[in-house]
């Protein structure tokens, strides 16, 4: 499944690929601004939501609740298939684990463990539809 990720993630929408709380600024009129576009790319509409699910897990949310929130609140995420999401979770686990071993920067080992736990959860429950669908 993970070998299919480049094809599954392909798309023409601008993706931030590193969304987390420090990447948002609220303007004076309540408008949210996304900052720090260090790794943008073209991707499928669900990619930023999938990255954000990992950050929700990092904040203490359960995987099913994080996915349900994303389905309910993020355009494009509701159309994601279990196959796509599981492939992405496996990709994230590999990417963060590789970075934790090769870069060894603060937080990387923690995120690698979260990503591996999330991938294991997805592999266990991939046949079960996301609650909000």
The CATH-assigned architecture of domain 2-125 is: Alpha-Beta Complex (3.90)
Going from N- to C-terminal start, the domains of the chain cover 2-125
CA–CA separation, 83 vs 49, rounded Å? 15
Backbone angles phi and psi of 26, in degrees to 5? -100, 125
Cβ atoms of 35 and 24 within 8 Å: the answer is yes
Residue 19's SS3 state is: coil
**pTM higher than 0.85:** no
Please list the rounded mean pLDDT of every run of 10 residues in the chain (133 residues): 63 84 88 87 88 90 92 86 88 92 89 94 72 45
CA–CA separation, 111 vs 69, rounded Å? 20
């Amino acid at each position: 499944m993970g070998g299919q990720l480049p094809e599954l993630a392909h798309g023409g929408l601008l993706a931030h690929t590193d969304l987390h709380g420090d990447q948002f600024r609220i303007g004076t009129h309540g408008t949210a601004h996304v900052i720090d576009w260090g790794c943008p790319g073209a991707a499928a509409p669900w990619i930023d939501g999938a990255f954000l699910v990992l950050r929700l897990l990092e904040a203490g949310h359960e995987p099913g609740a994080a996915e349900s929130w994303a389905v309910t609140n993020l355009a494009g995420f509701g159309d994601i298939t279990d196959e796509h999401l599981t492939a992405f979770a496996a990709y994230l686990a590999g990417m963060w684990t590789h970075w934790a071993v090769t870069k060894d920067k603060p937080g990387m080992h923690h995120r690698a463990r979260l990503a591996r736990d999330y991938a294991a959860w997805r592999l266990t429950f991939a046949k079960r539809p996301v609650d909000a669908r």
